[in-house]
């Protein structure tokens, strides 16, 4: 089945064909090599923002500096159609309509609190293809709007302290930017970020991340991530286990004020 990414790549090929240009000739008009153009058109590498901006500058008659051109809008808007895998779409709807999110993460920052650079770096270390990485990044950024919209969803996030200390290999500066963003988000009245300190030692939640979403009718559903995919959990026994685990990990965490101080201190170590 064709995806939004396929559509965007086809539009790029059609543009070049309509201009009667070879990949090498088209590349010269936008400041890229012919091999780079070929790789983008065949899905070998993602059409980055920089690439699409170059296409718009050279070939969008309505392009205006500082504003999104045709292909930048296409990349942003059409990506929303299929950025989320089928198994994730159900959760995104529940997440968007929830009245409270409780999120525990022992390894990475919660997706709703990630910067674009951090999200891309994390996903780039997965088994995803480059184009799939860009799709997932777009999906993650789109989902974050539930925290900044007019009626935001309240979020309580509990993180293991190692999340603040784990380097993003090959991406210097990403952690400094990420933790500055985290501190800023944690100061919002509807976002509480709590950190489990190192002296907690081994505790119950280290087995894996999970999210609990409270819905408008008061029901609770959970989201679990696995190596291959994720799943929505709504079984009574499983939810009871996860809610008990949540109480344990939250009990191990520092206060909101102490956690924010620790986040700011950690941010300084990355500068």
Contact 96, 216 (CB under 8 A): no
- Tens-place pLDDT, residues 24-59: 999 999 999 999 899 888 876 667 777 888 999 999
Provide the sign of the torsion angle of the four alpha carbons 241, 244, 250, 253, taken in this order.
negative
Specify the pLDDT at position 1: 43
Q: How confident is the model at residue 84 (pLDDT cuts 50, 70, 90)?
A: low
Specify the pLDDT at position 113: 98
Percent of the chain clearing pLDDT 70 (strictly above): 91
CATH architecture assigned to 4-79: Orthogonal Bundle (1.10)
Least confident of 15-29, 87-101, 245-259: 87-101
Has this prediction a pTM greater than 0.75?
Answer: no
Of how many residues is the chain composed?
Answer: 271
**Where exactly does CATH 3.30.870 map onto the chain?**
86-269
Mean pLDDT of 67-83: 73
Q: What six digits make up the tokens of 99?
A: 């009245």
**Where exactly does CATH 1.10.260.40 map onto the chain?**
4-79
* Domain 86-269 top-level CATH class: alpha beta
Residue 105 CA to residue 264 CA, distance in Å, equals: 18
Residue 215 CA to residue 54 CA, distance in Å, equals: 44
Specify the pLDDT at position 80: 56
Nearest residue to 157 (alpha-carbon basis) of 220, 202, 126, 112: 112
């Amino acid at each position: 089945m064709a995806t939004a990414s396929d559509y965007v790549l086809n539009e790029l090929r059609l543009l070049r064909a309509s201009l009667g240009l070879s990949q090498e000739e088209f590349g010269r008009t936008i400041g890229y090599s012919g091999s780079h153009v070929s790789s983008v058109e065949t899905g070998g590498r993602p059409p980055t923002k920089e690439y699409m901006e170059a296409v718009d500058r050279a070939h969008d008659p309505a392009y205006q500096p500082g504003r999104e051109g045709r292909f930048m809008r296409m990349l942003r808007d059409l990506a929303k159609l299929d950025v989320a895998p089928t198994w994730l779409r159900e959760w995104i709807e529940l997440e968007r309509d929830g009245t409270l999110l409780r999120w525990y993460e022992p390894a990475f920052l919660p997706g709703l609190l990630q910067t674009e650079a951090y999200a891309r770096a994390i996903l780039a270390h997965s088994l995803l293809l480059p184009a799939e990485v860009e799709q997932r990044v777009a999906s993650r950024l789109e989902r974050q709007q539930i925290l900044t919209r007019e009626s935001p969803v309240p979020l309580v996030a509990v993180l293991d302290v190692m999340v603040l200390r784990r380097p993003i290999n090959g991406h210097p500066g990403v952690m400094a930017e990420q933790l500055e963003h985290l501190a800023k988000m944690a100061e919002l009245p509807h976002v509480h970020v709590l950190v489990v300190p190192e002296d907690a030692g081994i505790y119950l939640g280290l087995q894996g991340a999970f999210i609990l979403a409270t819905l408008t009718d008061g029901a609770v559903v959970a989201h679990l991530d696995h190596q291959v995919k994720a799943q929505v959990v709504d079984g009574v026994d499983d939810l009871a286990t996860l809610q008990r685990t949540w109480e344990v990990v939250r009990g191990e965490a520092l206060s909101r004020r102490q956690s924010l101080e620790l986040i700011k201190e950690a941010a300084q170590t990355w500068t």
